[in-house]
Amino acid sequence: MKKIAVFFLLLLPFAGLFSQSNNAAKLLPILETYVDLLDDSTPFPLNDNMGVMDEISFEDGVIGLSLLLHEKMMDFSTLSENEQIYKSTFALMGRYILENGMREYLEEIGENPAILASLWDCVKGMRVAMLEDNTHRGHVLNLTTDDLKSAASISDSDIENDQFVSNLENNVKDEALSYEMESVTRENCPMYLGDSIWMTSVSYKDKVLTYKFRISEKPAHFDYDLIKQQMVRRLLNPSSEDSFSLIQMLQQMNASICFDFDIADEEYKWQISSDEIKSAFSEKNVTASSENARMQVEDQVSLMQPALPVQVDEVTRVDSVKIVGDNVVYYYLFDSENTEFDFTSPSVKYYIHFSNRNVIQVAGPLDQSFIKAVANAKMNLEYCYRNARTGAVLSDIFTYKELLEILEDN
C-alpha cells in the first residue's frame, strides 16, 4: 500500500518561491509576483488519493488557496466542527510559507531578507477553500493576520512533528484508509483463499483494521494458539514493502489490528494492540527483509506438519515438507502399477516439471502468498518424488528467480 501525506506538506517544495523586499511598498510587488509564479504551477496533485491544489491567489492582501478534494477522502460533514484544528494547522503552514519560504526567495533574487520586517503590513490574512471536486461545495476557512502571527514559528526540521500537523495527518489517513478498505471489500470480497477459507471483509473504523474470515469446516488439526502466535509474528515482521508500509502507517496512527474468524459457526477473535505494534517498531529496526520472509516460510512449514501426511490422489501422497538449506522440499511418495511412469525418463521429468509449474501458476491466494514468501526469502522450491515400488527418486527444483518470474507472469 502507498503512504498518505497530509496535503499541505506537499506545498513545501514550492515554498521557496515565496519571498520579498524591504518596506511594504517594495515587498508587495514581490509577493504578487511569487503568487503568480506559484499559481502557474496549478493544478498540481496533493497526492494520489487526496485531490489537487487548484488555485493559489493574492488579492487585497489575502492569500487564497483552493483545494479540490476527492469526496471519499474527506468527511466534509465534520469540517465545521473541526474548524479550529484546520485553522491552526493552516496558520502554521501559512506562516511557514510566508516567513521561511520568503527568506529563501529573497536570497534567490538577491534581496536583503531583513525586509521581511514589513511582511505583516502586506498580508491581511489567508482564505482556504476545501472543496469537493465533483460539486465544488465544501468549507471555507478565513484566517486573520493575528491567526497567522500567533502560529508558532517553525522550521523545516520540526514542521512534521507539530501536534496540529500530526492531528490533521492522522485524520486524513483515517479517512483514506477507511475508504481504501471499503474498496477492497467491495471489489474483492468474499475472496476464496484456498483450503475452505474465505476472507469476507476488510474494514477500518475507530482506529481498528479488521479482517474477517469464514471457514466452513474446522480443520482436524486446528491449533488456535499457534496460528495466532505465528500470524502476529508475521505481521510485525513484514517481508514485503507493501505490508511494511501498512504496519508502519498503523503504528504512526496509533491503530490496532483485529482478526475475526468464523470457523464452523464458532468465533475466534484476537487483536494486536497499538502498543504491541509500537513495541515491535521501537525494540528493533523493523524493515521489510528477506530474513522476515524466511521466518514466514519457517512458520508456514511448521503449520503444515500436523496435517501431514496427506493423500493428493490415488497414487500420490505428501509425506512431509521440510526446509533443507535454502530449499523448501515437498517429499512425495508415488505408488503406481504403471511401470511406464519411469522417473529416469526425460519425458516424465518434463511432464512433472510442466505440471508443477502449472500448479504454481494457478495456486490460490494463500498458496501464492507462501510461494512469494519463499521467493522473497531467496529460497528455492523443490518437489522430491520417490517411487514406492522401485525406490527411484526424481527431484524437480524451481529456483527463487524462476518463482518470481512465474508470479510476475500471473
CATH number of residue 367's parent domain = 3.30.300.250
Dihedral angle at the C-alpha atoms of 50, 55, 57, 63, nearest 10 degrees? -10
Domain check: are 23 and 120 in the same one?
yes
Q: How far is 330 from 379, CA to CA, in rounded Å?
A: 13
Rounded to the nearest 10 degrees, what angle do helices 274-283 and 241-252 cross at?
120
Asked which of 262, 288, 314 is the last residue of a domain, the reply is 288
Could you read off the pLDDT tens digit of each residue along the chain, which spans 410 residues? 333 333 333 333 333 333 333 467 888 888 888 778 778 777 877 654 567 778 889 899 999 888 887 765 556 666 666 677 677 777 877 777 777 777 777 887 888 878 878 888 888 899 988 888 777 777 888 988 888 877 655 444 444 444 444 554 555 566 667 777 887 888 888 887 766 778 899 998 888 999 898 887 776 666 777 777 766 766 666 555 556 677 777 887 888 889 898 888 888 888 888 888 877 665 444 444 556 678 878 878 887 787 788 888 888 899 999 999 999 999 999 887 765 567 888 888 888 899 899 889 888 777 887 898 899 889 999 999 998 888 889 999 999 999 999 988 76
Alpha helices in 222-378 (DSSP H): 224-235, 241-252, 274-283, 290-304, 346-361, 365-376
Q: To 5 degrees, how large is the angle CA 343–CA 345–CA 349?
A: 70
Give me the domain span that covers residue 75. Answer: 7-176
Q: How far is 383 from 380, CA to CA, in rounded Å?
A: 10
Q: Is residue 295 part of a domain?
A: no
In the chain, how many domains are there? 3
Domain check: are 278 and 388 in the same one?
no
Domain check: are 281 and 369 in the same one?
no
Domain check: are 166 and 217 in the same one?
no
Domain check: are 310 and 279 in the same one?
no
For 211, half-sphere exposure in the C-beta direction (CA atoms, 13 angstrom radius) is 14
pTM: 0.46
Q: Is residue 162 part of a domain?
A: yes
DSSP state of 160: G
Q: Is residue 296 part of a domain?
A: no
Q: How far is 384 from 22, CA to CA, in rounded Å?
A: 81
Domain check: are 231 and 129 in the same one?
no
DSSP state of 337: S
Domain check: are 16 and 163 in the same one?
yes
